[in-house]
Amino acid sequence: MVPKSSLSKWIDKAVKLNVCELDINVQLFDLPLSLFTCKTLTNLKVFARYRNFGVLNVPPLVILPCLKTLDISVHSKRLVKAFRLINGCPVLESLSLLILPQEVGDYNFNIPTLKRLELRTNDFISRHKVVLNLPNLEYLYVDGMLGSNFVMEDLSSTISD
């Protein structure tokens, strides 16, 4: 097993070397803060194997100016931090989100640049409202035990004349 400090150093080094793609599959681990301001990152995948992780240490300010693809898992009450990460990606085109049991609340996707959304859950989340304001959406995939109330505010790109 790799020590946490080594993994953090490796990710820091990759950021300094202008990494474009990063795929992280970890146990309990806080991601280094440098990752959340990487100017060259275009593709980020973060999957945590334990429930208490999942986008754990997202700083208040996230600036990922080139990130187009984001694939993350969100666990136990981390949804606010996940949306902080998502909102720090001004050119995001593809989002894959695995939501594991969450608190009651709404999921509001207001991402003008998003073309592809994959939303998965392994929990029955009937107590949630999912609002989609995605004017450029071309592909929507929903999987799991969803009983949520979906509200389509703006899906204008999916409407043809």
Provide the pLDDT for residue 54: 46
Closest among 115, 97, 114, 4 to 47, alpha carbons compared: 97
In a domain, 132, yes or no: yes
In a domain, 152, yes or no: yes
In a domain, 62, yes or no: no
Which H helix or E strand runs over 69? Answer: strand 69-74
Q: In what order do the strands lie in the sheet with 21-26?
A: 21-26, 43-48, 69-74, 94-99, 116-121, 139-143
Q: In what order do the strands lie in the sheet with 107-110?
A: 107-110, 129-133, 149-154
Least confident of 45-49, 85-89, 134-138, 155-159: 155-159
pLDDT digits (tens, 9 = 90+) for 9-46: 999 999 999 999 999 887 656 788 999 999 999 999 98
In a domain, 120, yes or no: yes
In a domain, 119, yes or no: yes
For residue 116, pLDDT over 60 is answered with yes
Asked if residues 139 and 159 have their Cβ atoms less than 8 Å apart, the reply is: no
Give the count of domains, the chain: 1
In a domain, 26, yes or no: no
Domain that holds residue 129: 89-95+106-161
pLDDT digits (tens, 9 = 90+) for 69-111: 999 887 656 677 788 899 999 999 999 988 776 555 677 888 9
